[in-house]
């Protein structure tokens, strides 16, 4: 038994080293991944001549077209934000549902805006809107904000084109469109429970936001129209879902054309070009003015791309050294459903490291051999790992501190609201993914 576990020592040491470097020494995650990868390669007995090749191979294979998709997603989300489309969506939903159902309006806002916007951008953009509604309505800030932030979090963990789900789709050779559809099926009920339902228990928490975070939103006259804003935000979802549906039809000679048009890279590029037109050029803005914010978006996404690259290098060393195959055999013998196992691995890494993106990508490298055996739907494994990567947010997660500081809460109230919301998302997301696995 001991000899069968010996090949896993490099896995344990590399994950522990990664945890120490990121959580304690505050090393940049990409550098930490490279160090942990080299340690795993050395301990596994990989020849020195193969170490660098394996690392380069892992980075190259993981990035590939993924870099294009993630970068297009970043500039697309920045355009949705800067154009005022996200603000228009929030205002429209609040008007539609009225003051009595404002929590539901915030829930839908977070989910819809969260699809094109990366989490941190969405957080910083939407929190001032939350406080402006709080001041107008007199409603508790935490109970109003949690539903919106739950929507952002679920989109971040479950839905392409966000970096972690998109990278997991590639690692598991899943289908991006089908994963998106499954993510919506799981994400919407999860959002209802962790958003407006859970928020009912938070009305007694008092927020004391610093004046520093009060930002005046754009005047309504400067915002794009309601229909245009919704269509622009949801366009990638609409195009990917349409392409997935079309691929199931007997297309004959048109199949290659539809496959090309439905590829994630083409979908994101088409959505971005259309958004430039309807949110910028057709509203009287010059093309350079519309495109200028994309530079900032690409700078912001660079650290995430490096994390994805580092995770790909670690995974490749596990594969090339033979550790991955051995790990797959051991995981297959664990008396747990594969989806629960993937969720649990992601949860443990999340608790140790804090970052949901790092947790998801690290877990993917560990359970990839299990997915390769064909015992589990790779699209559902993306969701299970996404749910696990959101569990138990605490003091080593930047999102925890952003929420605490923006809302001016004590540590106790932050755990009671933010941490519990994230844990609900992870638990309900897993249960619904397991339920979906029984019918697909």
How far is the C-alpha of 122 from the C-alpha of 297, rounded, in Å? 13
Domain limits of the chain? 2-317
208: left (phi over 0), alpha (psi -120 to 50) or beta: beta
Give 211's DSSP letter. G
What spatial distance separates the first Cα and last Cα of the chain, rounded to whole Å?
37
Tokens representing 79? 């355009």
DSSP string for 393-439:
--TT-HHHHHHHHHHT--HHHHIIIIIHHHHHHHHHHHHHHHHHHTT
How far is the C-alpha of 52 from the C-alpha of 358, rounded, in Å? 22
Alpha helices in 248-322 (DSSP H): 255-261, 264-279, 287-291, 294-320
Q: What is the pLDDT of residue 1?
A: 44
Tokens representing 215? 């930002």
Which residues lie below 8 Å from residue 405, measured CB to CB, with a gap of 6+? 210
Q: What is the pLDDT of residue 293?
A: 83
Q: What is the pLDDT of residue 386?
A: 95
* pLDDT tens for each residue of the chain, 440 residues long: 445 566 678 888 888 888 888 878 888 888 988 999 999 999 988 998 889 899 998 888 878 767 888 888 888 888 888 888 888 888 888 888 887 788 888 888 888 888 887 777 778 777 777 877 777 777 888 998 999 999 999 998 998 878 889 889 988 989 988 999 999 999 999 999 999 999 999 988 888 776 554 556 677 888 899 999 998 888 888 887 787 777 777 777 777 887 788 787 888 899 899 999 999 999 989 999 999 888 888 888 888 888 888 888 888 888 888 887 777 677 767 788 999 999 998 998 888 777 788 888 888 888 888 888 778 899 999 999 999 999 998 877 878 888 888 888 888 999 999 999 999 999 999 999 999 999 98
DSSP string for 5-38:
HGGGHHHHHHHHHHHIIIIIS---HHHHHHHHHH
Tokens representing 358? 């790092």
How far is the C-alpha of 388 from the C-alpha of 422, rounded, in Å? 10
SS3 label, residue 270: helix
């Amino acid at each position: 038994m001991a000899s069968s576990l010996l090949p896993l020592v490099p896995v344990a040491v590399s994950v522990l080293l990664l945890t120490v470097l990121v959580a304690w020494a505050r090393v940049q995650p990409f550098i930490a991944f490279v160090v942990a990868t080299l340690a795993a390669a050395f301990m596994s007995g990989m020849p020195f001549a193969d170490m660098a090749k394996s690392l380069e191979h892992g980075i190259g294979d993981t990035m590939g077209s993924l870099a294009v998709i993630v970068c297009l997603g970043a500039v697309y989300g920045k355009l949705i934000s800067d154009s005022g489309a996200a603000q228009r969506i929030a205002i429209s939903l609040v008007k539609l549902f009225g003051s009595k159902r404002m929590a539901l309006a915030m829930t839908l806002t977070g989910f819809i805006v969260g699809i094109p916007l990366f989490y941190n951008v969405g957080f910083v953009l939407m929190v001032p809107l939350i406080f402006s509604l709080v001041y107008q309505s007199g409603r508790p800030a935490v109970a109003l904000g949690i539903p919106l932030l739950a929507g952002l979090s679920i989109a971040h963990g479950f839905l392409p084109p966000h970096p972690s789900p998109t990278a997991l789709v590639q690692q598991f050779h899943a289908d991006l469109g089908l994963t998106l559809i499954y993510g919506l099926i799981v994400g919407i009920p999860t959002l209802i429970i962790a958003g407006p339902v859970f928020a009912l228990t938070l009305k007694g928490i008092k927020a004391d936001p610093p004046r520093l975070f009060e930002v005046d939103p754009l005047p309504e006259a400067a915002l794009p129209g309601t229909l245009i804003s919704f269509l622009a935000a949801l366009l990638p979802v609409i195009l990917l879902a349409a392409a997935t549906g079309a691929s199931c039809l007997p297309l004959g000679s048109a199949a290659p054309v539809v496959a090309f048009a439905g590829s994630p890279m083409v979908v994101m590029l088409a959505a971005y070009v259309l958004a430039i037109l309807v949110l910028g050029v057709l509203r009287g803005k010059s093309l350079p003015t519309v495109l200028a914010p994309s530079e900032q978006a690409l700078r912001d996404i660079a650290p995430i791309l490096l994390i994805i690259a580092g995770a790909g290098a670690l995974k490749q060393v596990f594969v090339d050294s033979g550790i991955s195959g051995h790990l797959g055999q051991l995981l297959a013998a664990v008396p747990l459903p594969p989806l629960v196992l993937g969720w649990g691995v992601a949860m443990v890494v999340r608790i140790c490291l804090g970052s949901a993106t790092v947790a998801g990508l690290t877990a993917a490298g560990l359970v990839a051999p299990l997915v390769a055996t064909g015992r589990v739907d790779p699209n559902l494994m993306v969701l299970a790992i996404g749910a696990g990567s959101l569990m138990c947010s605490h003091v080593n997660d930047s999102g925890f501190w952003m929420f605490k500081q923006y809302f001016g809460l004590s540590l106790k109230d932050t755990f009671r609201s933010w941490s519990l919301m994230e844990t609900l998302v992870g638990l309900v997301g897993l249960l619904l993914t397991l339920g979906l696995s029984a019918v697909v």
